[in-house]
Amino acid sequence: MGMRLKNLIVLLPLIFLFLFFYFPLISILKEGLWNNGITLKYILQVVSNNYHRRIIFFTFWQALASTLFTLLLGLPGAYIFAKYDFPGKGILKALLTVPFVMPSIMVALGFIILFGRSGILAHLIGRDPGILYSWKAIILAHVFYNFPVVVRMVSSLWQRINPHYEEAALSLGARGFALFRKVTLPMLMPAIFASSMLTFVFCFLSFSIPLILGGYQYATIEVDIFTAIMTLLDFKTGAALAIIQISLSFVFMYLYLKSLDLYVKAEEQRIFKKPLPLTLRELLSVNGVFIAAYSAMVFIFILSPLMAVVYHSFTYGGGFTLEWYRRVFSPEYNPIFGANSITAIRNSLFFGFSTVLISTLLALSIAYIMYRWEFKGKNLFDALVMLPLASSAITLGLGYIKAFHKPPLNLLGTWYLIVFAHTIIAYPFVLRAISTVLKKIKPGLKEAAMSLGANELKAFLKVELPLAFGGIVVGAIFAFAMSIAELGATYMIYKPEYTTITIAIYRFLGSRQFGPASAMSVILMMVSTIAFILIERTGEEIW
């Protein structure tokens, strides 16, 4: 490949990131740290304010608690998946992929319908269960999203622990819990730590869930920034909060990436112990009951919020209705979000596909550069392309408002700025999916192709691209799922004509119209389900 083309391939992603990530980031830093010279005034104001301090504290606390509960629910699942083969395991495994693609606003709506004052659970037990608009709902929703990650990572490592270690310990007299605590657990630690860090970061930067389920009392930093800017128009406070959040999440993200390295290293071990098929006798013993109970709980936990939304979308005053769908598909102008619903659906799909296109190209070129090329300053390149992982949707939205509201880049209110925001949010995940497959392709294959007369581009197109295809598809679906689920950043930079499905749902929720919100959510769910089926079809191990 020519030197000039190579340079271009390295430069293009960097230019894109500089314009649509680093420039907005710098704008935030300037807003929060600059007043005729560098100042810590705004940061100190935030830290010394009781309200903001409580929110920062709560953000930590709920992330920690969510992580603990996630482990509590995930570890038994990891054990079952690593050790046993049982009827229905395939379905259960597929089910655990569902949260990956389901937008959080929809799940939040499901929780409202389930746990609300006049919700399904309240009907069943005859009183308000007291879950909604409190920390309990937030943590429950966070567990919903993250326990599949724990099951996936920990069981994958568990299967790879060389059985000789446990056998050696058994021969030396260790048994039961002592064996687990002294031998098995330490070897599982990389997976437990990495999945915990991932959960923690997710919860720390969580937006839609605390926004909708937390009520007035329970907000995260992310929600606080959003309120400061969108309601109070207090950019200084918003920027100061954003700077605090970025600094913290940067540290957490660093820890996560380090723990991920350890995990990947541990997972590279060749030994792979096939789970044992459960015999009929075991099926009827304590183990069988345990597995059945766990499976049932996962079924209920994952499906009930979704089913609640579907149920609600067909219900009015206790009876069956199609009214909500009629409203969703009516071409009438809807004053609640300043556009009609068809437009919202079209917008979501359009942003989704555009995001897929750009983020896949971006991630593919970055992944290729990271794993195939050596050049001066490559460490810097790696750091620059990974940093956006530590930013959050709301921070990005704030940065975009500050950076793109005036010439030379007066882009606020354009459709492509929304696509770029979605791309910045989605591409680190696409990058990860593509990197995983690209790392598995031996560099020798490219060299073999080159020795046979293929130049680097041809070797890539004919050998590496087909082999990486599964990972690219999974990455593209992730990008699509994240784009259609995105709420915070889009909300901050959109114009009514670019209303998306999630924004429409949020607006419906804001005016307490749960029926239309449910019908809209069902449409979102159908799109997500297609994404889910595609992931299942590729057979690529995102598991």
Partner 1 sequence: MVRLRLEDIEFKQEGFELNIPFLEARPGEFLTLLGPSGCGKTTTLRIIAGFEKADRGRIYFDDIVMNEVPPYERNIGIVFQDYALFPHMTVCDNISFGLKLRKLSKEEIKKRISWALKLVGLEGFENRYPEQLSGGQQQRVALARALVIEPRLLLLDEPLSNLDAKIRERLRGEIKRIQRELGITTIYVTHDQEEAMAISDMIAVMSIGKIEQVGSPLDLYYSPKNEFVAQFLGLSNILEANAENGKACIGNLCFEVKKEGRVKIFFRPESVYIKKGDDGEVVDYELLPGRVRLKIDVDGEIIIAERFLDEIPFLIEKLPKKVGIKVKSFSILESFP
Applying CB under 8 A, the residues found at the interface with partner 1 are 442, 444-445, 447-455, 458-459, 462-463, 466-467
Nearer to partner 1, 362 or 468 (CB): 468
Structure tokens at 80: 């079952």
Q: How far is the CB of 537 from partner 1 (least distance, A)?
A: 18
Nearer to partner 1, 109 or 459 (CB): 459
Q: Which residue has the tokens 């209920």?
A: 300
Q: How far is the CB of 460 from partner 1 (least distance, A)?
A: 12
- For 64: left if phi > 0, alpha if psi spans -120 to 50, otherwise beta; the answer is alpha
Contacts of 277 (CB under 8 A, 6+ apart): 84, 85, 86
Question: How many C-beta atoms surround the C-beta of residue 459 within 10 A?
Answer: 21
Nearer to partner 1, 50 or 451 (CB): 451
Contacts of 536 (CB under 8 A, 6+ apart): 94, 97
Are 97 and 285 in contact by the 8 Å Cβ rule? The answer is no
Nearer to partner 1, 221 or 463 (CB): 463
Q: How far is the CB of 173 from partner 1 (least distance, A)?
A: 39
Q: How far is the CB of 64 from partner 1 (least distance, A)?
A: 42
Rounded CA-CA distance 529/106 in Å is 13
Nearer to partner 1, 319 or 444 (CB): 444
Nearer to partner 1, 12 or 467 (CB): 467
Q: How far is the CB of 534 from partner 1 (least distance, A)?
A: 20
First to last CA, the chain: 35
Nearer to partner 1, 169 or 441 (CB): 441
Q: How far is the CB of 175 from partner 1 (least distance, A)?
A: 40
Nearer to partner 1, 39 or 455 (CB): 455
Nearer to partner 1, 105 or 449 (CB): 449
Q: How far is the CB of 378 from partner 1 (least distance, A)?
A: 14
Rounded CA-CA distance 308/353 in Å is 29
Q: How far is the CB of 268 from partner 1 (least distance, A)?
A: 16
Q: How far is the CB of 477 from partner 1 (least distance, A)?
A: 21
| 496, HSE (Cβ side, Cα atoms, 13 Å) | 9
Q: How far is the CB of 482 from partner 1 (least distance, A)?
A: 29
Q: How far is the CB of 273 from partner 1 (least distance, A)?
A: 22
Structure tokens at 260: 């991920």
Report CA Rg, the chain. 24
Task: Tell me: cis bond preceding 87? Omega within 30 of 0 counts.
Answer: no
Rounded CA-CA distance 39/358 in Å is 38
Q: What phi, psi does 316 have (nearest 5°)?
A: -145, 120
Are 360 and 472 in contact by the 8 Å Cβ rule? The answer is yes
Structure tokens at 457: 């581009």
Structure tokens at 521: 């959510």
Q: What phi, psi does 147 have (nearest 5°)?
A: -65, -30
Q: What is the dihedral of CA 388, 137, 500, 231, to 10 degrees?
A: -80
Q: What is the largest CA-CA distance in the chain?
A: 77
Nearer to partner 1, 447 or 497 (CB): 447
Nearer to partner 1, 36 or 451 (CB): 451
Q: How far is the CB of 440 from partner 1 (least distance, A)?
A: 10
Structure tokens at 326: 């009629």
| 16, HSE (Cβ side, Cα atoms, 13 Å) | 23
Rounded CA-CA distance 141/132 in Å is 11
Name the residue among 405, 515, 429, 401 with its Cα closest to residue 149: 429
Rounded CA-CA distance 180/137 in Å is 33
Nearer to partner 1, 407 or 466 (CB): 466
Nearer to partner 1, 136 or 458 (CB): 458
As to burial, measured by CB atoms within 10 angstroms (0-12 exposed, 13-18 middle, 19+ buried), residue 472 is buried
Q: What is the DSSP string of 416-438?
A: HHHHHHHHHHHHHHHHHHHHHHH
Q: How far is the CB of 433 from partner 1 (least distance, A)?
A: 19
